[in-house]
C-alpha cells in the first residue's frame, strides 16, 4: 500500500481486515470488517428519521450470489453482506493499523489509517460476528458510525466520552471540510501573509486530527465484546436472542 492510497485488490485482503469503499463520488466512506468467505460485517443506520449522511440500511434486490447476504438481527444495524453488495460498484480500500505518527499526519484524508495496533485476526472476526448477533447500539444514540464499528472490532477500544464530536477520523474530516474550503477560496488573499496563515492552520488541522486518533487518545478503554452488547443496551430478550441465533459457521461460507 502506498502513502497516497490504500486501494487494494480483492485477492489482497484477508479475514479480519478493516476495509472500506467510497460512496457517492467520495462524499463519504463506508467501512466494514472482512470476515472471510467473501463476507463483510458492517454497521448501518436502521433509523431513517435523522438527516445524517451515513449509510442507511436498505435491503436491495435479492443478492444473486448468497441467499444469506443482508442478514441482520431485528432492529440491529450490524449487517452481513457479500463483498459485491458491500462495495456496490466502488473500489476496495484497506484501512491501515499501527502506522507511525508521521505517516498518519501525511495522509490527506482522515479515516484511512490509525496509529493504534490491530488485534489478532481471530479476535477481530470474533468481535464482528458477535456484534452481528448482538447488535452495536443505535447509530444515533452513541454517534456510532461504520468506522467506529470497524475500529472497535480491530482494536477493542472505545472512547469513554460518548457524547461530543470528532470520535472518528471520518467525523473530524467533516469538521475539517469548511476549513479546507476556506483555505482554497479567494478569501485567503485578504489575510495578511496568506502562506504563513494557511500553513499554520493546516498544521493545526493535522494536529487536531491526530489528537482524535484512537491510537493516541488517552480516554479510550479496552472493552470485551461480550460486555459491549450489555453496555450499549440493545433491548433483546433472552428468548429473542436465542431464537435468532445463527451459527457463525453457517454465515461465513
Applying CB under 5 A, which residues contact Zn ion?
63, 69, 82, 85
CB 69 to Zn ion: min, Å: 3
H-run or E-run covering 232:
helix 225-232
Q: Of the listed 30, 82, 113, 153, which one is catalytic?
A: 30
| Cβ distance to Zn ion smaller for residue 69 or 225 | 69
Residue located via cell numbers 431485528: 74
CB 33 to Zn ion: min, Å: 16
| Cβ distance to Zn ion smaller for residue 85 or 94 | 85
Has 69 been annotated as catalytic?
no
Q: How many helices (H) and strands (E) does the chain have?
A: 9, 7
| Cβ distance to Zn ion smaller for residue 13 or 82 | 82
Has 18 been annotated as catalytic?
no
Secondary-structure breakdown of the chain: helix, strand, coil percentages, each rounded to the nearest 5: 40, 15, 45
Nearest Cα to 136, choosing from 206, 45, 197, 51?
45
Q: Of the listed 42, 69, 82, 85, which one is catalytic?
A: 42
Residue 220 bridge partners (DSSP): 159
Cα 91 to Cα 9: distance, rounded to the nearest angstrom: 9
CB 89 to Zn ion: min, Å: 13
Has 126 been annotated as catalytic?
no
Cα 97 to Cα 20: distance, rounded to the nearest angstrom: 13
H-run or E-run covering 43:
strand 39-43
DSSP-assigned letter for residue 110: S
Q: Of the listed 69, 85, 94, 146, which one is catalytic?
A: 146
| Cβ distance to Zn ion smaller for residue 63 or 175 | 63
The residues carrying an active-site annotation are 30, 42, 146
Amino acid at each position: 500500500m502506498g502513502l497516497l492510497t490504500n486501494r487494494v485488490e480483492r485477492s489482497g485482503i484477508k479475514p479480519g481486515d478493516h476495509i472500506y469503499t467510497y460512496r457517492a463520488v467520495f462524499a463519504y466512506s463506508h467501512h466494514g470488517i472482512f470476515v472471510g468467505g467473501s463476507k463483510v460485517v458492517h454497521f448501518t443506520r436502521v433509523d431513517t428519521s435523522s438527516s445524517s449522511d451515513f449509510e442507511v440500511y436498505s435491503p436491495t434486490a435479492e443478492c444473486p450470489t448468497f441467499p444469506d447476504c443482508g442478514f441482520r438481527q431485528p432492529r440491529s444495524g450490524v449487517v452481513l453482506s457479500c463483498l459485491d453488495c458491500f462495495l456496490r460498484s466502488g473500489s476496495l480500500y484497506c484501512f491501515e493499523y499501527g502506522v507511525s505518527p508521521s505517516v498518519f499526519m501525511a495522509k490527506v484524508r482522515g479515516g484511512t489509517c490509525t496509529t493504534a495496533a490491530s488485534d489478532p485476526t481471530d479476535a477481530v472476526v470474533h468481535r464482528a460476528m458477535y456484534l452481528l448477533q448482538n447488535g452495536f447500539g443505535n447509530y444515533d444514540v452513541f454517534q456510532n458510525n461504520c468506522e467506529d464499528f470497524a475500529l472497535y472490532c480491530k482494536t477493542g477500544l472505545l472512547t469513554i466520552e460518548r457524547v461530543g464530536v470528532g470520535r472518528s477520523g471520518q467525523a473530524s474530516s467533516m469538521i475539517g471540510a469548511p476549513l479546507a474550503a476556506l483555505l482554497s477560496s479567494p478569501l485567503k488573499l485578504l489575510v495578511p501573509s496568506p502562506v504563513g496563515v494557511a500553513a499554520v492552520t493546516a498544521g493545526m488541522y493535522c494536529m487536531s486530527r491526530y489528537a482524535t486518533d484512537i491510537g493516541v487518545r488517552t480516554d479510550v478503554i479496552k472493552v470485551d465484546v461480550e460486555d459491549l452488547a450489555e453496555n450499549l443496551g440493545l433491548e433483546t430478550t433472552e428468548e429473542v436472542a436465542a431464537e435468532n441465533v445463527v451459527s457463525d459457521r453457517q454465515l461465513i461460507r
